[in-house]
């Protein structure tokens, strides 16, 4: 392969556009430069990029998409630039051009829920368009919460008849039979995080009522065997802790009129040593089925306290 330096030029309309694209004090530009071997020069309204062909292809797509978003009035943040760059490396940045912009839902207290990063918006758009979506990424990226918000919105809009929330109960080795108390009590500790989203959106009383009516079901993954879930919005959380058999069992429950969102963090597998993660395997097996979408959220989509971000980064540096 001949890897000669090549060059592309990109025109901007005015200085304002350059400021939106490069960020205050060129902060975004510096981030892009730090993760590419290409050289980026900006003079006035012209950007010149020189480097190996592969890199130019990525940067051309990245700038094209960012400029289009800016021209549409999207305010681009440093997080968004990093996310778009990661997608451009996979040749998928153009997917960001038809993102859904409106609010996602309204909490029980009347607060609007919106996607806070391009990554989250990409995820929500995928859920709207596809019947099976995998949301993969670290804690704090809103994967589970946004899926619950979308599920509640779908139920309110009568596009599904019920919501089913499930996770694998790894800690109890899936053998919940030996625990005292009724199912609800046994299940709660594992499923607590799923209730949090429901309570935020509907309030505890409403959730309890809907559970009694069977409009909402929260159960460990083992209870999904042998069923077909029709007209349902089904969320499988903590999917990195499923075995390949469980994952296949779960995915094949998909019935007519249903949507499935599978969330997980491949860096947090709690399975016993030697056990494969069903989430990692599903990525390999299903990646070429176009109707199944994999959306990868990253550190740049963590919308917790900024200090949490610094803690995560510090641990990552320590571990590497």
Quickly name the fold that domain 6-97 has: Ribosomal Protein S8; Chain: A, domain 1 (3.30.1370)
Beta strands in the chain (DSSP E): 6-11, 39-43, 46-51, 105-106, 112-113, 132-136, 162-167, 216-220, 232-236, 259-264, 292-296
Residue whose token pair is 């681009």 = 76
Cα separation of 47 and 8, whole Å? 8
Cα separation of 9 and 219, whole Å? 55
Higher pLDDT, 71 or 170: 71
Cα separation of 97 and 269, whole Å? 33
**Rg for the chain, CA atoms, rounded:** 22
- Quick: pLDDT tens for 250-262: 999 999 999 999 9
Cα separation of 93 and 211, whole Å? 40
- Quick: pLDDT tens for 31-56: 999 989 999 998 888 999 999 999 99
**In this structure, how many other beta carbons lie within 10 angstroms of the beta carbon of residue 119?**
30
Cα separation of 302 and 309, whole Å? 7
pLDDT at 102: 72
pLDDT at 45: 87
The mean-pLDDT minimum among 138-147, 236-245, 310-319 falls in 310-319
Cβ burial, residue 311 (10 Å; 0-12/13-18/19+): exposed
Residues in the chain: 320
pLDDT at 55: 94
What kind and span of H or E run contains 313? helix 306-319
Cα separation of 296 and 285, whole Å? 16
Closest CA to 89 of 54, 53, 40: 54
- Averaged pLDDT of the chain: 88
274: left (phi over 0), alpha (psi -120 to 50) or beta: left
Cα separation of 50 and 291, whole Å? 37
CATH superfamily of 103-319: P-loop containing nucleotide triphosphate hydrolases (3.40.50.300)
Longest dimension (CA), the chain: 71
Residue whose token pair is 């451009």 = 88
Cα separation of 94 and 88, whole Å? 8
pLDDT at 114: 86
Closest CA to 301 of 127, 147, 116, 126: 116
Please check whether the two domains, 6-97 and 103-319, share a CATH topology. no
Q: What is the pTM of this model?
A: 0.81
- Quick: pLDDT tens for 260-305: 999 999 888 888 888 899 999 999 999 999 999 999 998 888 876 6
19: left (phi over 0), alpha (psi -120 to 50) or beta: alpha
Cβ burial, residue 122 (10 Å; 0-12/13-18/19+): buried
pLDDT band at 184 (very low <50, low <70, confident <90, very high): low
Residue whose token pair is 């670290």 = 138
Using the predicted structure, report yes or no on whether residue 190 has a pLDDT greater than 90.
Answer: no
Residue whose token pair is 């003079």 = 43
262 bridge partner residues:
134, 236
Beta strands in 52-178 (DSSP E): 105-106, 112-113, 132-136, 162-167
Using the predicted structure, report yes or no on whether residue 186 has a pLDDT greater than 70.
Answer: no
**Residue ranges of domains in the chain:** 6-97, 103-319
pLDDT band at 314 (very low <50, low <70, confident <90, very high): confident
First to last CA, the chain: 32
Cα separation of 243 and 187, whole Å? 19
Using the predicted structure, report yes or no on whether residue 27 has a pLDDT greater than 60.
Answer: yes
pLDDT band at 174 (very low <50, low <70, confident <90, very high): very low
pLDDT band at 169 (very low <50, low <70, confident <90, very high): confident
């Amino acid at each position: 392969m001949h890897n000669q330096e090549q060059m592309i030029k990109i025109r901007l309309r005015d200085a304002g556009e350059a400021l939106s694209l490069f960020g205050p004090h060129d902060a975004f530009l510096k981030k892009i430069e730090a993760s590419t071997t290409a050289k980026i020069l900006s003079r006035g309204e012209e950007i010149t990029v020189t480097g190996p062909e592969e890199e130019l292809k990525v940067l051309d797509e990245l700038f094209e998409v960012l400029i289009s978003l800016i021209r549409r009035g999207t305010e681009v943040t440093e997080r968004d630039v990093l996310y778009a760059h990661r997608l451009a490396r996979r040749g998928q940045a153009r997917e960001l051009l038809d993102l859904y912009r409106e609010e996602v839902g309204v909490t029980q207290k009347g607060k609007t829920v919106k996607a806070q990063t391009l990554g989250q918006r990409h995820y929500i758009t995928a859920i709207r368009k596809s019947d099976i979506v995998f949301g993969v990424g670290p804690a704090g990226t809103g994967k589970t919460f946004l899926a619950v918000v979308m599920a509640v919105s779908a139920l309110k809009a009568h596009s599904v008849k019920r919501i089913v929330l499930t996770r694998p109960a790894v800690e109890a080795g899936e053998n919940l039979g030996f625990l005292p108390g009724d199912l609800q009590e046994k299940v709660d500790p594992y499923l607590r995080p799923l209730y949090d989203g429901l309570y935020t959106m509907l309030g505890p009383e409403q959730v309890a009522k809907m559970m009694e009516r069977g409009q909402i079901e929260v159960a460990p993954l083992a209870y999904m065997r042998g069923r077909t879930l029709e007209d349902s919005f089904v969320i499988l959380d903590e999917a990195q802790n499923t075995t390949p058999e469980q994952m296949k069992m779960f995915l094949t429950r998909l019935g007519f009129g249903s949507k499935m969102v599978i969330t997980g963090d491949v860096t947090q597998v709690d399975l016993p040593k030697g056990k494969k993660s069903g989430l990692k395997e599903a990525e390999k097996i299903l990646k070429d089925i176009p109707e199944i979408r994999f959306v990868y959220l990253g550190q740049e989509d963590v919308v917790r306290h900024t200090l949490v971000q610094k803690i995560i980064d510090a641990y990552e540096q320590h571990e590497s």
